[in-house]
Protein backbone atom coordinates (compact mmCIF):
# COMPACT_ATOMS: atom_id res chain seq x y z
CA UNK A 1 0.00 0.00 0.00
CA UNK A 2 1.43 3.39 -0.98
CA UNK A 3 0.65 6.84 0.30
CA UNK A 4 2.45 10.14 0.75
CA UNK A 5 5.15 8.99 -1.63
CA UNK A 6 6.32 5.92 0.24
CA UNK A 7 5.34 2.30 0.78
CA UNK A 8 3.71 1.37 4.07
CA UNK A 9 5.91 -1.07 6.00
CA UNK A 10 4.48 -4.18 7.55
CA UNK A 11 1.44 -4.91 5.39
CA UNK A 12 -1.71 -5.27 7.47
CA UNK A 13 -5.07 -6.97 7.08
CA UNK A 14 -8.35 -5.32 6.21
CA UNK A 15 -9.31 -5.35 9.91
CA UNK A 16 -6.41 -3.08 10.83
CA UNK A 17 -6.95 -0.91 7.77
CA UNK A 18 -10.39 -0.15 9.17
CA UNK A 19 -8.88 1.11 12.45
CA UNK A 20 -8.42 4.82 12.96
CA UNK A 21 -5.04 5.76 11.53
CA UNK A 22 -2.91 8.84 11.08
CA UNK A 23 -0.36 8.99 8.29
CA UNK A 24 2.91 10.87 8.60
CA UNK A 25 5.59 11.55 6.00
CA UNK A 26 7.35 8.24 6.69
CA UNK A 27 5.20 6.60 9.32
CA UNK A 28 1.75 5.62 10.46
CA UNK A 29 -0.14 5.57 13.76
CA UNK A 30 -2.72 2.91 14.51
CA UNK A 31 -5.14 3.81 17.27
CA UNK A 32 -6.02 0.43 18.71
CA UNK A 33 -4.88 -2.60 20.66
CA UNK A 34 -1.29 -3.62 19.92
CA UNK A 35 -2.14 -7.34 19.86
CA UNK A 36 -4.79 -6.81 17.19
CA UNK A 37 -2.57 -4.59 15.06
CA UNK A 38 0.53 -6.78 15.29
CA UNK A 39 -1.52 -9.92 14.66
CA UNK A 40 -2.53 -8.42 11.31
CA UNK A 41 1.02 -7.47 10.30
CA UNK A 42 3.25 -9.55 8.04
CA UNK A 43 5.86 -11.71 9.71
CA UNK A 44 9.40 -10.30 9.63
CA UNK A 45 8.26 -6.86 8.47
CA UNK A 46 10.08 -4.54 10.90
CA UNK A 47 13.77 -4.08 11.70
CA UNK A 48 13.82 -2.70 15.25
CA UNK A 49 11.30 -2.50 18.11
CA UNK A 50 11.65 0.23 20.74
CA UNK A 51 9.04 0.58 23.46
CA UNK A 52 8.18 1.13 27.09
CA UNK A 53 5.31 -1.26 27.85
CA UNK A 54 2.84 -1.24 30.75
CA UNK A 55 4.46 -2.21 34.06
CA UNK A 56 1.22 -3.15 35.85
CA UNK A 57 2.62 -1.12 38.75
CA UNK A 58 -0.80 0.12 39.91
CA UNK A 59 -0.18 3.71 38.84
CA UNK A 60 -2.94 6.17 37.98
CA UNK A 61 -1.98 6.08 34.30
CA UNK A 62 -2.47 2.29 34.21
CA UNK A 63 -6.11 1.87 35.20
CA UNK A 64 -6.37 -1.70 33.92
CA UNK A 65 -4.58 -3.37 36.80
CA UNK A 66 -4.12 -7.08 36.30
CA UNK A 67 -3.25 -10.00 38.49
CA UNK A 68 0.30 -11.29 38.09
CA UNK A 69 -0.93 -14.21 36.01
CA UNK A 70 -2.98 -11.96 33.73
CA UNK A 71 -0.10 -9.52 33.34
CA UNK A 72 2.40 -12.27 32.48
CA UNK A 73 -0.05 -13.72 29.95
CA UNK A 74 -0.53 -10.33 28.26
CA UNK A 75 3.21 -9.64 28.28
CA UNK A 76 4.03 -13.01 26.75
CA UNK A 77 1.45 -12.45 23.99
CA UNK A 78 2.76 -9.05 22.90
CA UNK A 79 6.37 -10.25 23.13
CA UNK A 80 5.50 -13.25 20.94
CA UNK A 81 3.85 -10.99 18.36
CA UNK A 82 6.85 -8.65 18.49
CA UNK A 83 9.15 -11.58 17.83
CA UNK A 84 7.01 -12.71 14.90
CA UNK A 85 6.93 -9.34 13.11
CA UNK A 86 10.64 -8.67 13.71
CA UNK A 87 13.04 -9.61 10.95
CA UNK A 88 15.78 -12.17 11.44
CA UNK A 89 18.64 -10.35 13.14
CA UNK A 90 16.25 -7.66 14.36
CA UNK A 91 16.58 -5.94 17.73
CA UNK A 92 14.16 -5.04 20.51
CA UNK A 93 14.75 -2.39 23.18
CA UNK A 94 12.33 -2.64 26.11
CA UNK A 95 12.45 0.07 28.78
CA UNK A 96 10.83 -1.02 32.04
CA UNK A 97 10.98 -0.38 35.77
CA UNK A 98 12.38 -2.66 38.46
CA UNK A 99 9.35 -3.66 40.50
CA UNK A 100 5.70 -4.29 39.80
CA UNK A 101 2.59 -5.77 41.35
CA UNK A 102 1.08 -5.04 44.72
CA UNK A 103 2.82 -5.08 48.09
CA UNK A 104 1.43 -8.57 48.69
CA UNK A 105 2.30 -9.81 45.20
CA UNK A 106 5.47 -8.01 44.19
CA UNK A 107 7.81 -9.22 41.47
CA UNK A 108 11.08 -8.15 39.84
CA UNK A 109 10.15 -6.91 36.36
CA UNK A 110 13.47 -7.46 34.52
CA UNK A 111 13.60 -11.12 35.56
CA UNK A 112 10.07 -11.74 34.31
CA UNK A 113 10.60 -9.88 31.01
CA UNK A 114 13.83 -11.77 30.38
CA UNK A 115 12.11 -15.07 31.17
CA UNK A 116 9.17 -14.35 28.88
CA UNK A 117 11.33 -12.82 26.13
CA UNK A 118 13.55 -15.87 25.96
CA UNK A 119 10.49 -18.14 26.13
CA UNK A 120 9.14 -16.68 22.88
CA UNK A 121 12.53 -16.91 21.15
CA UNK A 122 14.48 -13.72 21.91
CA UNK A 123 18.06 -13.75 23.14
CA UNK A 124 18.96 -11.18 25.80
CA UNK A 125 22.14 -9.47 24.57
CA UNK A 126 22.60 -6.52 26.93
CA UNK A 127 21.11 -4.68 29.88
CA UNK A 128 21.45 -0.91 29.43
CA UNK A 129 20.96 1.14 32.61
CA UNK A 130 19.33 4.47 31.84
CA UNK A 131 20.47 6.96 34.48
CA UNK A 132 17.83 9.66 34.72
CA UNK A 133 19.40 13.10 34.89
CA UNK A 134 23.11 13.08 35.70
CA UNK A 135 25.46 10.66 37.41
CA UNK A 136 25.97 13.15 40.25
CA UNK A 137 22.27 13.86 40.71
CA UNK A 138 20.08 11.10 39.24
CA UNK A 139 16.33 11.46 39.51
CA UNK A 140 15.24 8.62 41.77
CA UNK A 141 12.07 6.58 41.54
CA UNK A 142 9.71 5.94 44.43
CA UNK A 143 8.11 8.09 47.08
CA UNK A 144 8.93 6.30 50.33
CA UNK A 145 12.13 6.13 52.35
CA UNK A 146 11.19 3.32 54.70
CA UNK A 147 12.68 3.62 58.16
CA UNK A 148 13.86 7.24 57.86
CA UNK A 149 17.18 7.79 59.69
CA UNK A 150 16.92 4.20 60.90
CA UNK A 151 18.55 0.99 59.76
CA UNK A 152 15.83 -0.31 57.37
CA UNK A 153 15.63 2.19 54.49
CA UNK A 154 14.00 1.72 51.10
CA UNK A 155 16.65 2.33 48.43
CA UNK A 156 15.36 4.38 45.52
CA UNK A 157 16.59 3.66 42.01
CA UNK A 158 18.06 6.54 40.02
CA UNK A 159 17.98 4.45 36.85
CA UNK A 160 15.74 2.19 34.79
CA UNK A 161 16.74 -0.89 32.80
CA UNK A 162 16.56 -1.10 29.02
CA UNK A 163 16.54 -4.76 27.99
CA UNK A 164 18.19 -5.34 24.61
CA UNK A 165 17.01 -8.48 22.81
CA UNK A 166 18.04 -9.95 19.45
CA UNK A 167 16.12 -12.30 17.18
CA UNK A 168 18.30 -14.98 15.61
CA UNK A 169 21.65 -14.21 14.06
CA UNK A 170 22.85 -10.63 14.00
CA UNK A 171 23.17 -8.95 10.62
CA UNK A 172 25.38 -6.17 9.32
CA UNK A 173 24.05 -3.78 6.67
CA UNK A 174 26.13 -3.17 3.59
CA UNK A 175 28.42 -0.27 4.34
CA UNK A 176 28.17 -0.74 8.10
CA UNK A 177 26.80 1.84 10.51
CA UNK A 178 29.60 4.28 11.24
CA UNK A 179 28.56 7.45 13.03
CA UNK A 180 30.32 9.82 15.39
CA UNK A 181 28.75 8.54 18.61
CA UNK A 182 29.02 4.80 18.01
CA UNK A 183 31.84 4.10 20.51
CA UNK A 184 30.39 6.41 23.15
CA UNK A 185 26.85 4.98 22.96
CA UNK A 186 28.09 1.39 22.93
CA UNK A 187 29.14 1.98 26.54
CA UNK A 188 26.72 1.96 29.44
CA UNK A 189 25.09 3.50 31.34
CA UNK A 190 23.15 5.84 29.12
CA UNK A 191 22.87 9.11 31.03
CA UNK A 192 20.12 11.47 29.89
CA UNK A 193 17.40 13.62 31.42
CA UNK A 194 13.84 12.39 31.79
CA UNK A 195 11.18 13.56 29.37
CA UNK A 196 9.70 16.99 30.01
CA UNK A 197 6.40 15.90 28.48
CA UNK A 198 3.68 17.15 30.82
CA UNK A 199 0.71 15.45 29.20
CA UNK A 200 2.04 11.90 29.66
CA UNK A 201 3.26 10.79 33.10
CA UNK A 202 5.67 8.07 31.96
CA UNK A 203 7.16 9.14 28.63
CA UNK A 204 10.79 8.37 27.89
CA UNK A 205 12.82 11.16 26.23
CA UNK A 206 13.25 11.02 22.43
CA UNK A 207 17.01 10.77 23.02
CA UNK A 208 16.54 7.18 24.26
CA UNK A 209 14.96 5.75 21.07
CA UNK A 210 17.22 8.01 19.00
CA UNK A 211 20.32 6.31 20.40
CA UNK A 212 18.75 2.88 20.00
CA UNK A 213 17.92 3.59 16.34
CA UNK A 214 21.30 5.06 15.54
CA UNK A 215 23.08 2.06 17.06
CA UNK A 216 21.01 -0.71 15.47
CA UNK A 217 19.55 0.55 12.17
CA UNK A 218 20.29 2.62 9.09
CA UNK A 219 18.22 5.10 7.08
CA UNK A 220 15.11 3.60 5.54
CA UNK A 221 14.72 0.76 8.02
CA UNK A 222 11.40 0.31 9.81
CA UNK A 223 10.90 0.90 13.54
CA UNK A 224 7.91 -0.33 15.57
CA UNK A 225 6.63 0.95 18.90
CA UNK A 226 3.58 -1.06 20.08
CA UNK A 227 3.02 1.24 23.11
CA UNK A 228 3.72 4.59 21.50
CA UNK A 229 2.43 6.87 24.26
CA UNK A 230 3.46 10.48 23.63
CA UNK A 231 5.31 9.59 20.43
CA UNK A 232 8.97 9.73 21.52
CA UNK A 233 9.84 6.85 19.18
CA UNK A 234 8.13 8.60 16.26
CA UNK A 235 9.95 11.85 17.00
CA UNK A 236 13.28 10.00 17.06
CA UNK A 237 12.45 8.17 13.82
CA UNK A 238 11.81 11.49 12.08
CA UNK A 239 15.23 12.73 13.25
CA UNK A 240 16.92 9.52 12.06
CA UNK A 241 15.07 9.29 8.73
CA UNK A 242 13.60 5.89 9.58
CA UNK A 243 10.19 4.55 8.65
CA UNK A 244 7.99 3.83 11.65
CA UNK A 245 4.82 2.16 12.86
CA UNK A 246 3.27 3.46 16.07
CA UNK A 247 0.45 1.79 18.01
CA UNK A 248 -1.45 3.48 20.83
CA UNK A 249 -4.93 2.72 22.15
CA UNK A 250 -5.54 5.84 24.27
CA UNK A 251 -7.19 8.60 22.21
CA UNK A 252 -5.78 11.44 24.33
CA UNK A 253 -2.23 10.10 23.96
CA UNK A 254 -2.83 9.65 20.22
CA UNK A 255 -3.70 13.34 19.94
CA UNK A 256 -0.55 14.23 21.90
CA UNK A 257 1.56 11.88 19.78
CA UNK A 258 0.27 13.36 16.54
CA UNK A 259 1.12 16.89 17.68
CA UNK A 260 4.62 15.87 18.76
CA UNK A 261 5.45 13.99 15.55
CA UNK A 262 4.05 16.72 13.28
CA UNK A 263 6.04 19.31 15.21
CA UNK A 264 9.24 17.32 14.65
CA UNK A 265 8.45 16.86 10.97
CA UNK A 266 8.12 20.61 10.58
CA UNK A 267 11.33 21.21 12.52
CA UNK A 268 13.30 18.83 10.29
CA UNK A 269 12.15 20.39 7.00
Task: Read off the CATH number of the domain in which 166 is found.
Answer: 3.40.50.150
Highest mean pLDDT among 63-72, 75-84, 174-183: 75-84
Quick: pLDDT tens for 22-40: 999 999 999 999 999 999 9
What DSSP character marks residue 156? P
What does the pLDDT look like over 102-138, one tens digit per residue? 667 778 999 999 999 999 999 999 999 999 877 776 7
Q: What global pTM score does this model have?
A: 0.88
More confident residue, 214 or 174: 214
Domain that holds residue 41: 2-268
- Predicted local distance difference test score (pLDDT) of residue 236: 97
DSSP track, 192-231: EPPP--SS-TTPPPTHHHHHHHHHH--TT-EEEESS-TT-
Total structural domains in the chain? 1
Q: What distance in Å separates the CA atoms of residue 129 and residue 163, rounded to the nearest whole number?
A: 9
Nearest Cα to 111, choosing from 68, 145, 152, 142?
Answer: 68
State the Cα–Cα distance between residues 100 and 146, nearest whole angstrom. 18
Buried b / exposed e along 173-200 (16+ C-beta atoms within 10 A): eeeeeeeeeeeebeeebbebebbebeeb
Contact criterion met (CB below 8 Å) for 188 and 128: yes
Reported confidence tier of residue 4, pLDDT bands at 50, 70, 90:
very low
Sign of CA dihedral 232, 237, 238, 243: negative
Q: What is the pLDDT of residue 198?
A: 60
Amino acid sequence: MSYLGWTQPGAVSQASKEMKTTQFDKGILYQGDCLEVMDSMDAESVDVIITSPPYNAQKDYEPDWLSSEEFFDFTEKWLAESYRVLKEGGKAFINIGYWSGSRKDRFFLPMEFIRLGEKVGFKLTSWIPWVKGTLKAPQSNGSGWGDVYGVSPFFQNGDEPILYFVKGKRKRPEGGNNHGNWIQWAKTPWVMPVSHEREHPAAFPPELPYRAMMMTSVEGWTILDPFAGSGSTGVAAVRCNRRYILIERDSAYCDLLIRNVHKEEQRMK
